[in-house]
Amino acid sequence: MAAALLYQGHGSVRIVTGEGKVIYIDPFMGDGYDLPADLILMTHGHYDHTQDKLIKKRNTGCTVIKWSDALKKGEYKNYDYGFVSIETVEAGYNKNHNVKECVGFILTFSDGVKAYFSGDTSTTPSMAGFAEKKLDYAFLCCDGVYNMNVSEASKCSKTIGAKHTIPYHMEPVKDNSGFDINVAERFDAPGKIILKPGEELVLQ
């Protein structure tokens, strides 16, 4: 079975894999924190990406991978849990996000589907090689205040060349969603998907 992703809002997502394992990425916004976690990923230390206290239940063996675990002494770590493998990639490259303290993640599920989560970033040098990875999904931030704007993110999407690209983290936190339909509609990417907070996407 394919993994199912719930977009919780802002940069927060929950994924239930085909095996029933529950993965949270950058917990902060929205609903859907009721499922017991098997894996929690956090891309950097800002408060709007690190509210894992929202996840009250954790299964035995639940693993938490922070940016500081995934990037040590300049080395990006990779992980394999069977139900998902994780490649840590660079993020940052702007005045608000130091490349030494931020990461993105590429998740490959057991059925081979690959999804990239940019975290907070501007254009990174490594994006030039992402097309070779044949990504199925790419989630790109585009708030234009703390990170790249929608125009730069659109350019990145074409470089990355994922089958589907989804804008997220579209604005500084001003309301209860972190979602801006105007930004989402201006986002220009191959195979664009607009996900609104609370909507689910089957990753296939």
Q: How far apart are CA 69 and CA 90, in angstroms?
A: 13
Q: How far apart are CA 121 and CA 90, in angstroms?
A: 9
pLDDT at residue 174, as a whole number: 64
Residue 18 half-sphere exposure, CB side, CA atoms within 13 Å?
A: 14
pLDDT at residue 47, as a whole number: 94
pLDDT at residue 175, as a whole number: 62
What is the distance in angstroms between the CA of the first residue and the CA of the last residue of the chain? 9
Q: How far apart are CA 55 and CA 7, in angstroms?
A: 15
pLDDT at residue 112, as a whole number: 98
pLDDT at residue 176, as a whole number: 65
The ranges of the chain with pLDDT < 50 are none
Q: Is the whole-model pTM more than 0.85?
A: yes
The correct CATH number of 3-193 out of 3.40.1370.10, 3.40.50.300, 3.30.160.270, 3.60.15.10 is: 3.60.15.10
pLDDT at residue 183, as a whole number: 93
pLDDT at residue 96, as a whole number: 94
Please write the tens of the pLDDT for every residue from 186-202.
999 989 999 999 999 99
Residue 178 half-sphere exposure, CB side, CA atoms within 13 Å?
A: 26
pLDDT at residue 178, as a whole number: 78
- Helix intervals (H) in the chain: 67-70, 150-160, 181-186
